[in-house]
Amino acid sequence: MELLDEALKGKEMAIAKILTLLERGKGLDYLDYLASIGGKAHIIGITGPPGAGKSTLISSLIERYYTTRKVGVLLIEPSSPISFGSFMGNRIRIQRLYPEGRVFIRSLGSRGDLGGISRDSIMMIEVLDGLGFDPIIVETVGAGQIDTDITSIADTNIIVITPASGDDIQMLKAGIMEIGDIYVINKSDLYNSDVFVISLKNVLGSATSRYSLRPEIVKVSAIKGEGVDELIISIEKHWSFIKDNHRENVERRRRKLIELYLRNLISPLIVDTAKKVGLSSIKDAINSSHNVLKDALCHGKIL
Amino acid sequence: MERPIKVLIAKVGLDGHDRGAKVIARGLKDQGMEVVYTGLRQTPEKIVRTAIQEDVDVIGISILSGSHMELIPNLLNKIKENGLSNVIVIVGGIIPKEDAQTLIKMGVDAVYPPGSSMKEIADFIRKAVSEKRR
């Protein structure tokens, strides 16, 4: 348990090694211990379409938080469906060198998980939480309209969009525009953002949200640092509103971890079955694939 | 799905030419690796810190400014001081042959001048990582 002691002392090398163990399917004892002493941190989810400025915004949030708190940051990047590799460019927006143990940043690939987050990212949240990082900021893969899994793991969910994100018809759609606790209109220095804010206000005014708190809209220019103080106030307000029911959120994200673990286990079998099944009749293909899956589940062929 | 080989690609020092670094970063992504790209004007301190937090298997430095004999030994020292003993260090860019040999003697694992093939680099990384992991 030397690694754990070092990590608890804030040694970044030890923290990093524990995270890598989890990525390799090991280190579950560390996870269990840290989860048992964790479950306290405020998890801030940052999601939105590619290029909206999520990483730049995170950089300004770190600047505000790190002086008084230990900040954990997880940057989830898209893994290639072709090579399984990943080009991880988010860290380029976070250039400052912070004192050791104050700001811990880790990039990880989506690695086959859909929905904007990944199984490993939840395990990493548990570890950083147990080590006393708070807040933990999680950036999703650049999101499409239904990449909403971040809702299961974040306490405060921030949707980052730009004034060029379309008209009110886009805002009325299901999915990502339903899950924000805070909507950040980033790059507000670039366009006529007031019109966009008014439409968004109109749309959100009549919407329902997961907590009985109306979502807030904050105009930001992350690159100029404008609106970031207002955003912090909004984040902290949201946290103090939901804090008392935080246990439920911790339970929900741990259940999500189990769900993603099971999906990871079963999805190779599904892909393989779909590749091999005969296609002379689609009806037969559906039936026989169904049987392959049933058989695998009943006779312990998975694992 | 287990974590693929993880590589940090960075430009060190005052050098604004990042096309090569980007081509390499994308090429290694295409070879199935996870590549953290931190871009221009990195200091050895920053590179080592990022390498620690990301727990990368490989640090790849692109340098076209001619100051490799200053910056790379400095980086190697920082790597050693911080106990990053298992990380593989690769340098790419305009590096004269004699300098390349000196750098390798100092502890760089490989030097790739312009014209190197992506597959050659990726194969070297795969081999070196599997040897170091053992």
Residue B33 lies in a domain: yes
For residues A196 and A173, the answer to whether their CB atoms sit within 8 Å is no
Query: What count of residues does chain B have?
Result: 134
- A135 cis-preceded (ω within 30 degrees of 0): yes
Residue found under tokens 């404008």: A226
Q: Is the ipTM of this complex over 0.90?
A: yes
Check CB contact of A83 with chain B, cutoff 8 Å. Answer: yes
Range of the domain at B78: 6-133
3-class state of residue B41 by DSSP: strand
Sheet containing A182-185, strands listed edge to edge, beginning at the edge strand earlier in sequence: A103-109, A71-77, A136-139, A43-47, A156-161, A182-185, A216-219
Percent of chain B at pLDDT above 90?
72
Q: Which of A166-175, A274-283, B12-21 has the lowest mean pLDDT?
A: A166-175
Mean of pLDDT values over A115-135: 94
Tokens 């030994």 belong to residue: B73
pLDDT (tens digit, 9 = 90+) per residue, B111-127?
A: 999 989 999 999 999 99
In-domain check, residue B120: yes
Report the CATH number that the domain containing residue B70 is assigned in CATH: 3.40.50.280
pLDDT at A301: 67
Chain B residue with Cα closest to A16: B53
A250: closest CA among A22, A55, A42? A42
**Residue A212, min C-alpha distance to chain B (Å):** 38
Q: How far is B31 from chain A (nearest CA, A)?
A: 6
Q: Which residues of A touch B35 (CB under 8 A)?
A: 85-88
pTM: 0.93
Among A17, A19, A89, beta carbon nearest to B37: A89
- Chain A, nearest residue to B40 by Cα: A92
Per-residue model confidence as pLDDT tens digits over A17-60 = 999 999 999 999 999 999 999 999 999 999 999 999 999 999 99
- Confirm whether B115 is domain-assigned: yes
Q: How far is it, in rounded angstroms, from Cα B72 to Cα B78?
A: 10
- Provide the pLDDT for residue A178: 82
In a domain, B75, yes or no: yes
Burial B27-47 (b: 16+ CB within 10 A, else e): bbbbbbbbbbbbbbebbbebb
Count of domains observed in chain B: 1
The answer to whether the CB atoms of A24 and B3 lie below 8 A apart is: yes
Say whether pLDDT at A166 is over 90.
Answer: no
Q: Which residues in A213-236 are b (16+ Cβ under 10 Å) and which e?
A: eebbbbbbbbbeeebbeebeebbe
The architecture (CATH level 2) of A38-245 comes to 3-Layer(aba) Sandwich (3.40)
**Dihedral sign from CA coordinates of A241, A243, A244, A249:** positive
pLDDT, residue B134, reads 60
Contact list, A84 vs chain B (CB under 8 Å) = 1, 4, 32
User: What 3-state DSSP class applies to A217?
Assistant: strand
pLDDT at residue A185, as a whole number? 93
Cα-trace Rg, chain A = 21
The answer to whether residue B1 sits within a structural domain is no
| Three-state secondary-structure class, residue A202 | helix
Interface-testing mutation among B55, B118, B126, with chain A (most A C-beta atoms within 10 A)? B55
A20 CB within 8 Å of a chain B CB: yes
Domain boundaries, chain A: 38-245, 257-298
Is the minimum CB–CB distance between A91 and chain B shorter than 8 Å?
A: yes
Q: What is the mean pLDDT of residues A136-162?
A: 90
CB contact under 8 Å between B1 and A24, yes or no, is no
Query: In this structure, is residue B17 part of a structural domain?
Result: yes
- b/e per residue, A265-296, with b = 16+ CB within 10 A? eeeeeeeebeeeeeeeeeeeeeeebeebbeeb
User: pLDDT by residue (tens digit) across B57-79?
Assistant: 999 999 888 888 989 999 999 99
Pick the closest to residue B3 from A199, A27, A277 (CA basis). Answer: A27
What pLDDT sits at residue A302? Answer: 64
